[in-house]
């Protein structure tokens, strides 16, 4: 239990249902759905749709979605991959002919076909009790009637003026008067409201086969993109078989590649060989091991992670105990290693993650993202849909498994998590923050399981992140890491820098089956909260 005399946030606790999101309006939306008789999947979709309006820098219907679902708290976890694909005309040879060696963020070539609306529709039809049209209504109201800009949203928005200036359609919506709206101001998105209303009336095909698709494809092609109406019309997510690994007596469940959940498990597998609790929760020894495990695991990610439908991804080898042991032997407990990741990756990104558990203990771990803040910076001029830049994670090197190809899904950073024990789901959880997410899962879980912190304390702890890249790289360290700890780590050979903004965000709801209660946390680095009833 936290020291109540100090600043902080208590764990939310309830009996019936709970939602934890990165925005208070989304959390309230989810609770309203639950109290109105909807289930966890209904609430998750409604909340995420709201976030796509009120956190427009982080998510939206122009992005992608991954979900883990535990029906009635079962350990038989359902996994859904709602990530989009490259255009069918996108070949490495074409980019080489054009002299394009990098898929730049503000280019139409960074845009993959959005998967969110298809995922929401499929998940509601298969596991919800309400229609997509009904669950879009709260988002429609906020887009049409307006919403107040909150602290983290305002900070992120202000830092993306360059992004928002690239496309006149984007600037018109998100830079009214040439500037971001500002903290506490009211913002409206009437074009997005109209698009959401159209989807609510006509279903998911209104996005993929109707005038919204035409608006997006016409705009992308005018900018030089390779997208076609067929690319949108054939877009479809898929149920996939989840992967898992054991840690401290729990099974940690992740979606398989093309997401980086396997890398979160690899970090945990490396750390499982150490008695972390003996080092202390905020010591140089603990952070040193965390940094080294990150570096080793992200090196493997950048070398191997890709769409398994079009490349060989050695998941079984990456998750084997022998492989973790081999990597562990490369760690010197006294000195920092060089960080020779084989390929540079795109910069940090924004995402929203949410957890929902209902009265029947259906548990949803739900993540949705446009990748970088405001994605590609490209917006449909008529539809008001901001498009993701997930294609920026592709390589254009034909020898790399993650090389762009027709209909291929890129390496993906967003990963929902689920913790399972004794045949039951005990916690949907997730960490936002682009590339940080795999490392963030490991840090959150080691805080919880090695050091005995509660779900809120495990999020509150200061964070570090060993940035992926070629050669020796710096480690981001939040201001809460004590200077004496950083000095000791610097003496071991680590180099630190200040992150441009707080590292990531997170939500989780822990299910106490014996007591019949729920315990939820929401990251203070974002504007959200956990609420139950």
The predicted structure's pLDDT at residue 472: 58
List beta partners, residue 355. Answer: 20, 365
Pick from 368, 351, 349, 307: nearest CA to 117: 368
Stated length of the chain = 533
The predicted structure's pLDDT at residue 3: 83
Using DSSP, state whether 532 is helix, strand or coil.
strand
Contacts of 141 (CB under 8 A, 6+ apart): none
The predicted structure's pLDDT at residue 341: 46
The predicted structure's pLDDT at residue 351: 86
Using DSSP, state whether 432 is helix, strand or coil.
strand
Decide: 386 and 62 in contact? Cβ < 8 Å: yes
454-to-37, 446, 503 alpha-carbon distances in Å: 29, 11, 20
The predicted structure's pLDDT at residue 345: 44
The predicted structure's pLDDT at residue 468: 80
The predicted structure's pLDDT at residue 344: 41
Distance CA 202, CA 214 (A): 15
Contacts 24+ apart (CB under 8 A), 476-485: 476/503, 478/502, 478/503, 481/282, 481/287, 482/282, 485/282, 485/283, 485/284, 485/287
- Where b means 16+ CB within 10 Å and e means fewer, 427-466 reads bbbbbbbbbbbbbbbbbbbbbbbbbebbbbbbbbbbbbbb
55-to-46, 189, 420 alpha-carbon distances in Å: 14, 12, 30
The predicted structure's pLDDT at residue 471: 54
74 phi/psi in degrees, rounded to 5: -65, 155
The structure's pTM equals 0.96
The predicted structure's pLDDT at residue 450: 98
Using DSSP, state whether 163 is helix, strand or coil.
helix
Catalytic positions, written as ranges:
351
Low-confidence ranges of the chain (pLDDT < 70): 339-350, 469-472
The predicted structure's pLDDT at residue 470: 54
> What is the Cα gyration radius of the chain?
22
Distance CA 62, CA 380 (A): 10
Distance CA 250, CA 228 (A): 45
């Amino acid at each position: 239990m936290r020291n109540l005399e100090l600043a902080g946030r208590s764990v939310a606790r309830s009996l019936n249902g709970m939602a934890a999101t990165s925005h208070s309006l989304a959390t309230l939306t989810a609770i309203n759905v639950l109290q109105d008789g909807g289930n966890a999947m209904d609430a998750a979709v409604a909340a995420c749709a709201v976030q796509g309006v009120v956190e427009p820098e982080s998510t939206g219907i122009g992005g992608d979605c991954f979900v883990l679902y535990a029906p009635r708290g079962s350990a038989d976890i359902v996994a859904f991959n709602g990530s989009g694909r490259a255009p069918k005309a996108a070949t490495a040879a074409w980019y080489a002919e054009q002299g394009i060696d990098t898929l730049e963020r503000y280019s139409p070539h960074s845009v993959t076909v959005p998967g969110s609306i298809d995922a929401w529709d499929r998940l509601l039809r298969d596991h919800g009790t309400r229609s997509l049209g009904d669950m879009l209504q709260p988002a429609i109201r906020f887009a049409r009637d307006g919403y107040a800009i909150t602290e983290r949203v305002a900070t992120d928005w202000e830092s993306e003026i360059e992004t928002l200036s690239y496309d006149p359609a984007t600037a018109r919506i998100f830079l009214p008067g040439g500037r971001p709206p500002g903290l506490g101001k009211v913002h409206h998105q009437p074009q997005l409201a109209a698009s959401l209303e159209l989807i609510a009336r006509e279903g998911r095909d209104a996005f993929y086969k109707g005038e919204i698709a035409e608006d997006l494809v016409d705009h992308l092609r005018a900018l030089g993109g390779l997208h076609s109406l067929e690319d949108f019309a054939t877009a479809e997510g898929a149920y996939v078989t989840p992967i898992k690994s054991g840690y401290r007596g729990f099974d940690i469940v992740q979606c398989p590649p093309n997401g980086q959940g396997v890398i979160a498990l690899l970090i945990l597998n490396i750390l499982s060989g150490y008695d972390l609790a003996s080092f202390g929760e905020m010591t140089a020894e603990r952070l040193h091991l965390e940094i080294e495990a990150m570096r080793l695991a992200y090196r493997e990610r950048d070398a191997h992670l890709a769409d398994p439908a079009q490349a060989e991804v050695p998941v079984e080898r990456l998750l084997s105990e022998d492989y973790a042991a081999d990597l562990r032997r490369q760690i010197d407990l006294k000195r920092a290693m060089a960080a020779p990741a084989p390929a540079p990756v795109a910069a940090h990104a924004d995402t929203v993650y949410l957890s929902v558990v209902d009265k029947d203990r259906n548990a949803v771990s739900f993540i949705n993202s446009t990748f970088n803040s405001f994605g590609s910076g490209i917006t449909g001029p008529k539809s008001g849909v901001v498009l993701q830049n997930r294609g920026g994670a592709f390589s254009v090197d034909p020898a790399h498994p993650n090389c762009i190809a027709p209909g291929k899904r890129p390496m993906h950073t967003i990963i929902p998590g689920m913790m399972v024990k004794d045949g039951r789901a005990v916690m949907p959880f997730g960490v936002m923050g682009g590339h940080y997410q795999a490392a963030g899962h490991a840090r959150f879980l080691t805080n919880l399981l090695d050091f005995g912190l509660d779900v809120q304390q495990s999020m509150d702890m200061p964070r570090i992140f060993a940035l992926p890249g070629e050669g020796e790289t710096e480690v981001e360290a939040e201001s809460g890491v004590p200077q004496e700890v950083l000095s000791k780590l610097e003496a071991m050979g680590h180099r630190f820098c200040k992150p441009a903004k707080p590292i990531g965000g997170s939500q989780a709801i822990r299910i106490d089956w014996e007591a019949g209660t729920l315990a939820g946390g929401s990251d203070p680095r974002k504007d959200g909260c956990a609420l139950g009833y």
